[in-house]
Every structure is written in C-alpha cells, then in structure tokens.
Amino acid sequence: MKILYLMTEPFGFGGVQSDLLALSEDLSARGHTVYVATTEGELLEELKSKGAIFCPIDFNISGLGGMWASAKALNALVKEHNIDLVAPQSVRSSLVTLLAMKLMRLGGKRPPIVTTIHNIHNPAHFKYAGWLLRACADYVIFESHYERNRLLSSGLPEKRSGVVHSGIDVERYAPRAPSQRILDEFSLDKAKHKILAIVARLSEEKGHNYLLEAFSMRVAIDPSLRLIIVGDGPLREEVEAKVDELKLRNTVIMAGARRDVDDILSVIDAFVLSSTRESFPLAAREAMAAGRAVVAPRIGGCPEVVDHEENGFLFESRNVEDLASCMARVAEGDTAAVFGKAARVKVVTQFSRAAWVDGDEKIYQLAIDGKL
C-alpha cells in the first residue's frame, strides 16, 4: 500500500507526531510506502529516519483561498505518487482531502479516505464534526471510545467508524533499573526522594498550575517529594512564574522537551496528569508501560486508561484538593509499586503497538479493497 498521512500541525513534539513516527516505522517495515504531508518541525529528520517520505503541504489553514491551495497541492501529490489511501489526522485535513478528491474525480476513481480522530478540543465543534466526517471520510478510526461516542451523537454513522487504540512500544518502555544519568542530572536520590513526573506540553489544557498547587500542598507535608515537569510550550514562562510564586524551586525540576522520556520514567515513583481536556493520553500509557502508577483526571478517555484504585487514581479535573489527595495516596507505602505492576500488565495486554498497527493496517486494506 501507498499510504498518505495528513497533519495540520508542524512535525514537532506532540501526540499525533509520536503516533506517526511509530506507524511510519512499522508500516514501512511491513513493506508499505508511507508519505506524511505537513510542515517542517523539530522531529522531521526523525520522521524521515523511520522510512516516511515527507511532503511539504500546509493544512493549518483558514479561509477558502488557503483550503483551495492545499487541496490543489494534495490532488497533485496523490496523482503523482499514485497514492492508494489518504489518511487525514483531523477534521480540517479531511475537509481539504474531500475537496482534493472532488478535483480528482474529474479524471478517474479516487483513493479511499480513512480519517483518524485523536481528539477534538473545541466543544462547539462536537455539534457538526460527525456530519462533516460523514461527508469527508469513507471510514473514521478513533483512538478512544470516548471520542467515538461523542461524534456518533453528532451525525457520524456507527458502521463507518471504529476504535483502534494507539499502541505503546512495550519493549522501549519496559521497567528497568533507575537511570543513574538522570538521577545525577537532576540531583535526585532514590533512597531519599519520592519522585513524581508529568510529561505534557506546557499549554493551558494540561493544567500545570493545578498540579503545582496540589504539589505545593503535599510537599509542605512530605518534603521528600520531588516533581519533574517534562515539556515545553507557550506557557513556559507562566509555569516558571508559578513555581517561583509557590517557592518550589528546590523541589520542582523543569526538564524541558526531552527525547529520553523512557529514562526519566525509570527514576520516578508515579506519573501525574493534570489536564482539563484529554482524549486518550499517550504519556500516561507510556508511564504505565514503564510500570508506573498514574494519577489522572476523570475526563475524556482517561477512565479507559486508568482503573481507579487498581493501577492508579482518578480525580476531579481542576480540583486541587482532590488531586493532592490522590498524590498522597499514590505515595503511601508500596502503593505506587503495586499499582505500577498492574499498569504494566494493562498496557501489554490492551495497548500494545503491534495490535495497534495490525488494526490500522487491516482497516486500510479493507478500504482499498472496497470492503468497508
């Protein structure tokens, strides 16, 4: 198969980008040719190293002029490379694809369109996203039942959609001895410190301020606690200011954007996610694959990932006291270790990378064969 993925964001750090890195590598290894159309970003060279062919088209557009220009470029690309299947990764790129394929139909049969929906943040979009996808896509893959159910209620036919959980490289994130390099870098001591971490873009929906307030409450009671914040983004200065305001410079580590998250996970006791909007959190599943208990908000697809009081704790989003309470519970005794083992089992059995790629590949082939 010749598979063309479309992204609205540059190929930098992010969940969709991580997914396409994995799919590009595994589908290329299975003999398929993978194309990725988007704009340049920090991880572009890594994408190419996974076997993908980069095609510079900007889908982060607004207005009919921009949509028309992107559609013409996409139409030309599909024709030039004889693409078998187009796989948009958003509603917006699906709209552009529909326009591009309308142009192509003047000259012959178009390739099928299989859209993957990772998450839709804007609540206003829920009302019409299902109807738009009904018009734009032959089939829609969702990463979580949560996202699928929302769009089924807004016009998307049930038979033209399904859930394939994005998977985790369970070998890369397998439990291991704590990385001494990371411990030395961050001046941490496993014998003295209880270490928590969040891996998330520094943006409004990730709720870092709530996390810092809850952590401030806990570290006042338990000075052995440490928090590693991995990520970068538009709210970097605001998060740094919050750390200073709460006088947490000695207990919070601002690690920035990293490509060695697996090593960081090896030194922590538990993972904390403080989002106010979330679909199917990749970072939480990576932490679980590493054998780490997870504290997460009871929103979106998080309850599909974290089983409350079995492999982690769920709290009310934006509720600082509830979050602080869950952080206290996960740090008690051997709770983090016991829950972490259960977390690893869940990821291996339900969220493996092999099962994910198998699922997507099967749908792609059925679409090409006209059997969906």
**Run means of pLDDT, 10 residues per run, the chain, 372 residues:** 96 90 97 98 96 96 87 94 96 91 72 91 71 92 91 90 94 96 98 97 96 98 98 96 98 96 98 94 96 97 96 98 98 97 96 95 97 91
Backbone angles phi, psi at 105, to 5 degrees: -60, -20
256 within a domain of the structure (yes/no): yes
Distance from C-alpha of 47 to C-alpha of 268, rounded to nearest angstrom: 28
Q: 263 and 229 in one domain? A: yes
174 within a domain of the structure (yes/no): no
Q: 121 and 60 in one domain? A: yes
CA nearest 348: which of 119, 196, 165, 195?
165
Burial class (CB in 10 A: 0-12, 13-18, 19+), 151: buried
The pLDDT assigned to 199 comes to 97
Chain Cα centroid distance, residue 279 = 8
Q: 258 and 220 in one domain? A: yes
Backbone angles phi, psi at 17, to 5 degrees: -60, -40
19 within a domain of the structure (yes/no): yes
Distance from C-alpha of 202 to C-alpha of 184, rounded to nearest angstrom: 24
199 within a domain of the structure (yes/no): yes
Domain enclosing residue 358, as ranges: 2-167+352-368
* Contacts of residue 19, Cβ cutoff 8 Å, sequence gap at least 6: 116, 118, 166, 282
Q: 254 and 135 in one domain? A: no
Q: Strand, coil or helix: what is 235?
A: coil
CA nearest 70: which of 82, 55, 80?
55
Q: 156 and 225 in one domain? A: no
Residue 113 DSSP label: B
The pLDDT assigned to 122 comes to 64
Distance from C-alpha of 342 to C-alpha of 33, rounded to nearest angstrom: 37
Q: 70 and 38 in one domain? A: yes
CB atoms within 10 A of CB 160: 13
175 within a domain of the structure (yes/no): no
Q: 244 and 98 in one domain? A: no
The pLDDT assigned to 324 comes to 98
Tokens matching residue 229 = 């914040």
257 within a domain of the structure (yes/no): yes
The pLDDT assigned to 65 comes to 87
CATH number of the domain enclosing 145: 3.40.50.2000
The pLDDT assigned to 50 comes to 97
The pLDDT assigned to 317 comes to 97
Q: 184 and 60 in one domain? A: no
Tokens matching residue 18 = 């991580």
Number of independent structural domains in the chain: 2
CB 274 within 8 A of CB 208: yes
Tokens matching residue 354 = 């092999």
Q: 143 and 52 in one domain? A: yes
Pairing of strands 312-315, 252-256: unpaired
The pLDDT assigned to 126 comes to 67
Q: 143 and 217 in one domain? A: no
Distance from C-alpha of 54 to C-alpha of 36, rounded to nearest angstrom: 5
220 within a domain of the structure (yes/no): yes
